[in-house]
Structure 1
Amino acid sequence: MIENINIRKNTFFKNVLTLITGAAVAQALNIIIAPILSRLYDPHAFGVFAVYTSIVSICVVVVGLKYELAIVLPKRQEDAANVLCLSIIVNVFMTLLSTIILLLFKDNLKIWFHIQGLNQFIWWVPISILFFGICDGFNYWSTRQKSFKRLSVSQVFRSISVAVIQLGGGISKIGAVGLIAGQAIGNMVATVALGKQIWKDDRQVLKSSFNFNKIKDLARTYKEFPKYSALQALVNSISQNAISFILAAYFSPTTVGYYALSLRLLQLPINLIGESVRQVFYPKAAELYNEGGDLRKYFIKSTLFLGVIIAIPTLLIFLFGPPLFSLVLGKQWIEAGIYARWMMLWLFFVFITRPTVVLFQILKLQKAFLLIETIGFVIKTLLLLMISKIWNNAPLSILVYSISNVLFYIASLIFILQKTKKI
């Protein structure tokens, strides 16, 4: 089946290549500055940044109640435009709610995760949540429009802004705040850049389509997204970020820093290609499903394509992770390479199951995905807590967590393969 993949003749792979080409500039910048940041900031600063990022990540997945996923689905442009408006309205409301929650629990966060100076950066959280959420809506609208070039441009703006601010913060010796401000402001820049381009290209359809009564109707039409997809995404995000909180609680922010920088570097190329594939796969798969096309064949080809791409990098990190990290980042980061060796096994399956996760949405299997996600979350979290408490061994905790993630993604892949047989 792999030999049937002809990149030059296949629109899917042309669009993926368009996204990768633009996004590569952004990710290359992140990779270039990583060895500099690892010398400007110590593992403790990266650990604090990881806790902050985990808080934001958990909030972001529900800030729009996943209505942004529905932007791609309507047959009529008018309905899609109103779903975008719905997503933005919900984002604003949920950001205000999260700000209130932060006010109530900020003192507890400082105690739980042993973080000094929490008040210096905690107010970046609602800012990040708001712009991340709106940017997600803009991304899905652009995906629907097949405007992949402007998605790449926004990524370049984000990466340049993040790099400049984080480097400046490191040179100024302001600690974790430099990393946090860089991420938050970088995403603001990307959101504004993408929003301006959307307004320029699609202003007429957005203005002519806006109808508040229609927005309310569409909120009911796509109620499965907040009802199941948002809960599933929340469980998934808590599950993926629980390790940062547990490592901080049982070990130290420094340990979290080793884990966080490993994850950051491994995810750069994975997100570069994987997100590009998702953005192209989603609208094409939805179209095949609506028109009765061969969705299963398209799904299998896409998954195999991703497996071929990621196989060699996975093997290299598994075999040579510690010396590679020590060489590139500095000797103080060799433990991060040990973590990376085990994490790469898990991230291999994260990468190849991008199409799997999309099909849960398209096939309206949100309830099933929520159940699978919840069971996986409970098992992974209990194992992580048990290993961390009993053995007090951070590398062992990460190994167990990675293997449990591998089993979860394999189960999800098998489930979707079975479901696509019935289409």
Structure 2
Amino acid sequence: MFKHFFKSDFSKNVATLMGGTLIGQAIPFLSTFILTRIFTPDDFGLFAIYFSLVNIIGTVSTGRYEMAILLPKHKSAALGLLKISILSCLLVSVLLLGVLLLVGEEIAILLGNKELYKFLFLLPISVFGFGIYKTLSVWFTRLKKYRKISASIIVKSISGLIFNIGVGLYYGVIGLFLGNVLSSIIAVFILNPFEKGDFIIKKRRIHFLLRKYWKFPAFDVPSSFIYMLSKNGVVLLLSKGFSATITGHYSLTERLLIAPSQVFVGSYTQVYNQEVSEMFSKGKQIGGFVSRNIFKVAKLLAIPFIVGTYASPFLISILLGKGWEVLYKYIFILSPFIFFSMILNPMSYVLKIKDRQDISFIQHLVLTAIKLLSLFISIMVFKLNVFIALLVYGILSILTLAFNANVIFNILELPVKKRLPVFLIALICVVMTLINMYFI
């Protein structure tokens, strides 16, 4: 299977990018087993709130114009979109600093952790680094310079680890925050594509591009904001309804489950986006390509997820140290949902190249409403314990993702028989979530 997978140019590009991502993700993943001996669950919970804010704000800080960089035929237009994305990110970061100066303490209290206030002023720098790095990664994906992206991923991971451990050993939790801030800035300098003349901004071209790609800020910004809120809002709700310790356990569970699979899926998606954009621009049918790639990802992730989940009760205390023994319960509950969301991850770009950002917005809105409302009602109304709340959250999320996938299949006019395996995988994930709950 693996020999067949790596035959095509598409797969070779995935492998090139995956090599850098493998090292880049392996470093923070393996460092987790050191960091859990330096930082407490409370420390991880505090940083999880901060990192959720970086993800939510950073994702929309570019106006989502970076997602259009792959689309123009001419390099000059793509370069204009790159400049628009950077200027937007800079503006958002400056405005964010102003907001924090005015009401930063109130925001920390609203999020349920007053101690967060002292770290919030690092947020504009983190958002700027996050947005610019994401934009430059898309730019080099367009140029198919996957080795440079891989190098930046490795440098970002190593520098983050150095600050995490070096600062954390002597100054405590600030090491987690500085690792995030400074590693992104360093990675931006590694990827910097500009020469002296490139900083010239032609107003007429910028205005033309703003008008042509207006749907990205109009639809994709609210859509992406809602999507990131659905992913990171869980941390914010848990921090409000439970202790920082529970928030820390949840965030570390996501880190352990997502980081290894992201080695493949993150690299795969970047190359997949470029490939499917090229196919669409040539007038080719992409439905079959999309469905085949879902199953390909599922086959490659299934065994690692199964082994990792059911080995976790025996490995957690050995690998993470004291204070983390109950983490396997979170892994049991969340692994089926995370597996299903990961295999559907490459599908999201289809709606962008089909110019159906409106559908993407509605899908993200529905998913976010179901995920966050299920948690809010479970925690705030019925006062359920965290594991039952996450059980409801996981099952409803799987069913919603399956429904959203079917909508995209309709747009692609995919035959029903080619959709059934996705629904079967969804059903298996729901059943496994219920079975896993029995064992905890």
What band does the TM-score fall into relative to the shorter chain? over 0.9
Contact 1:81 1:210 in 2 (8 A): no
- Residue 49 of structure 1 aligns with an amino acid whose one-letter code is F
Distance 1:341 1:242 in 2: 21
One-letter code aligned to 2:156: R
Q: Which residue of 1 aligns with 2:329?
A: 338
Q: Which residue of 2 aligns with 1:43?
A: 41
Structure-2 separation of matches of 1:385 and 1:93 = 33
Aligned equivalent of 2:84: 86
Q: String of CA shifts for 1:73-132, please: whole Å, max 9, x gaps.
A: 001111101110111111111111222222333222332344243333111100000111
> Which of 191, 205, 218 in structure 2 is aligned with 1:214?
205
d(CA) in 2 for partners of 1:209 and 1:6? 46
RMSD over equivalenced CA pairs, Å: 2.0
Q: Structure 2 CA distance, aligned partners of 1:88 and 1:341?
A: 40
Residues 103-118 of structure 1: pairs in structure 2 closer than 5 A: 103-118=101-116
For structure 1, which runs of at least 5 residues remain unmatched after alignment?
Answer: none
| Contact 1:322 1:341 survives alignment (8 Å) | no
Amino acid at match of 1:308: K
CA distance in 2, matches of 1:220, 1:252: 46
Task: State the number of aligned residues.
Answer: 414
CA distance, structure 2, for counterparts of residue 265 and residue 357 of structure 1: 23
Q: Is the 8 A contact 1:232 1:373 kept in 2?
A: yes
Please give the alpha-carbon distance, in whole angstroms, between the structure 1 residues aligned to 2:104 and 2:42: 20
State the distance in 1 between where 2:3 and 2:100 align: 49
**CA displacement 1:31-65 (0-9 Å, x = unmatched):** 22111100100000000000001111110111011
1:190 aligns with one of 178, 187, 204: 187
Matched, 1:327 2:314: no
Give the superposition deviation at 1:145: 0.3
Match of 1:179 among 176, 179, 194: 176
Q: Give the CA deviation at 1:365.
A: 1.4
Q: Distance in 1 between matches of 2:360 and 2:75?
A: 28
Aligned to 2:392: 400
Which segments of 5 or more consecutive residues in structure 2 lack a partner in the other structure? 416-440
Name the stretch that deviates more: 276-285 or 292-301: 292-301
SS at match of 1:19: helix
Residues 208 and 398 (structure 1 numbering): CA distance in 2 closer, same or farther, change over 3 Å? Answer: closer
**2:408 and 2:341 mapped to 1: Cα distance?**
15
Map 1:45-64 to 2 at 5 A: 45-64=43-62
Q: Return closer, same or farther for 1:211/1:263 CA change in 2, 3 Å cut-off.
A: same
The answer (yes or no) to whether the contact 1:318–1:342 under 8 Å persists in 2 is: no
Rounded Cα–Cα distance in structure 1 between residues aligned with 2:384 and 2:322: 23
> Partner of 1:146: helix, strand, or coil?
coil
How far off is 1:270 after superposition? Answer: 2.0
1:269-324 CA-to-partner distances (Å, cap 9, x unmatched) read 12221111111011110111111123112112211111011111222244333333
Q: Which amino acid aligns with 2:220?
A: S
Structure 1 residue 422 displacement after superposition: 7.1
Question: Which deviates more from structure 2 when the two are superposed, residues 315-324 or residues 161-170?
Answer: 315-324
What is residue 378 of structure 1 aligned with on the other side? Answer: 369
Which one-letter code corresponds to 1:418 in the other structure?
Answer: N
Q: Which amino acid aligns with 1:118?
A: L
Query: 1:161 aligned to 2:153?
Result: no
2:32–2:320 contact (8 Å) kept in structure 1: yes
Per-residue deviation, residues 397-421 of structure 1 (Å, max 9, x unmatched): 2222222221222122222222112
Residues 220 and 406 (structure 1), Cα distance of their counterparts in 2 relative to 1, 3 Å cut: same
Is residue 387–residue 397 contact of structure 1 (8 Å, CA) maintained in 2? yes
Letter in 1 for 2:109: I
Alignment match, 1:33: 31
CA distance in 2, matches of 1:179, 1:422: 45
Q: Matched residues, percent identical? A: 28
CA distance in 1, matches of 2:351, 2:220: 9
Once residues 229 and 132 of structure 2 are traced to their aligned partners in structure 1, the CA distance between those partners, rounded to angstroms, is 21
Letter in 2 for 1:345: P
User: Residue 180 of structure 1 aligns to which amino acid in structure 2?
Assistant: F
Report if aligned partners of 1:113, 1:245 keep a CA contact under 8 Å in 2: yes
Q: How big is the shift at 1:27? A: 1.6
Which of 338, 354, 367 pairs up with 1:363?
354
Instruction: Work out which of the residue numbers 396, 400, 409 in structure 1 matches 2:401.
Output: 409
CA distance in 1, matches of 2:311, 2:180: 29
For residue 391 of structure 1, give the secondary structure of its aligned residue in structure 2.
coil
Aligned amino acid, residue 346 of structure 1: F
- Contact 2:367–2:401 at 8 Å: present in 1 too? no
Tell me if the contact between 1:61 and 1:233 (Cα under 8 Å) persists in the aligned partners. yes
* 2:412 paired with 1:420: yes
| Structure-2 residue corresponding to 1:152 | 150
Change (3 A) 1:356 1:209: farther
The 1:311–1:84 alpha-carbon spacing in structure 2 relative to 1, beyond 3 Å, is same
Give 1:18 deviation, angstroms. 0.4
Structure 1 residue 343, shift from structure 2 partner: 1.6
> What amino acid is aligned across from residue 185 of structure 2 in structure 1?
M
Secondary structure of 2:5's partner?
A: coil
SS in 2 for 1:73: coil
Tell me what 1:302 maps to.
293
2: CA distance, partners of 1:48 / 1:110? 11
CA distance in structure 1 between the partners assigned to 2:320 and 2:370 by the alignment: 34
Report the Cα offset of residue 4 of structure 1: 11
